[in-house]
């Protein structure tokens, strides 16, 4: 009599890329470490990404002089340092700075690089705060079609969990 296993063996396709979307805040540091760990375990490159809008003065500098504004230069330098710190353990960590709405920009990065995993950090604000101000992480989560490890961190606790809303594999 042959006995069959109750849990079938699952085979996962290799991950091409892990995207870490950061708002460059302290709250996103835990998510960055989680993204770095995932990239290392999956032997995938890590794209450390940030979406932003130019301030009016910075926009005027770039339009009039065709030079990079200080705002863009500062963001590029900060993001490069963050990517360098997360790139330990033999993984390739690449900074990606994109101008635009975060949900659209992060979605575009994930789609362009066929990234089935996007890691987001959130401060875990109250329901009232999220209802009035909104949550960038939630807007990204609702517009993406891939798996989302979310890392929550606040003054009292730090945790990570996995959500998979409407996931359509690449």
Structural domain tally of the chain? 1
Sequential pLDDT tens for the chain (170 residues): 433 334 434 434 466 888 998 888 877 888 888 889 989 988 899 999 999 999 999 999 999 998 999 999 999 999 999 999 999 878 899 999 999 998 889 888 888 888 888 888 766 555 555 554 457 777 777 777 665 555 555 554 444 444 444 444 44
Helix, strand, or coil (residue 5): coil
Instruction: Examine residue 116 and state whether it is found in any structural domain, yes or no.
Output: yes
Range of the domain at 141: 18-163
Instruction: Examine residue 5 and state whether it is found in any structural domain, yes or no.
Output: no
Angle 136-143/102-112 helices, nearest 10 degrees?
40
Provide the CATH number for the domain around residue 130: 3.40.50.620
Instruction: Examine residue 11 and state whether it is found in any structural domain, yes or no.
Output: no
Strand partners, 147: 117
Instruction: Examine residue 10 and state whether it is found in any structural domain, yes or no.
Output: no
Instruction: Examine residue 7 and state whether it is found in any structural domain, yes or no.
Output: no
Instruction: Examine residue 55 and state whether it is found in any structural domain, yes or no.
Output: yes
Residue-level pLDDT at 163: 43
């Amino acid at each position: 009599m042959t006995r069959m296993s109750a849990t079938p063996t699952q085979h996962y396709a290799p991950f091409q890329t892990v995207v870490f979307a950061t708002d460059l805040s302290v709250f996103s540091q835990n998510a960055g470490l989680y993204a770095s760990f995932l990239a290392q375990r999956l032997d995938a490159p890590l794209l450390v990404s940030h979406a932003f809008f130019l301030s009016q003065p910075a926009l005027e500098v770039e339009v009039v002089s065709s030079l990079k504004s200080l705002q863009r230069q500062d963001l590029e330098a900060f993001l490069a340092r963050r990517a360098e710190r997360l790139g330990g353990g033999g993984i390739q960590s690449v900074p990606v700075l994109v101008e635009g709405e975060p949900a659209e920009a992060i979605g575009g990065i994930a789609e362009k690089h066929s990234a089935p995993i996007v890691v987001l950090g959130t401060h875990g604000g109250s329901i009232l705060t999220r209802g009035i101000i909104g949550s960038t992480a939630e807007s990204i989560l609702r517009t993406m079609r891939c798996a989302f490890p979310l890392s929550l961190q606040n003054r009292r606790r730090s945790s990570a969990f996995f959500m998979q809303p409407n996931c359509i594999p690449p």
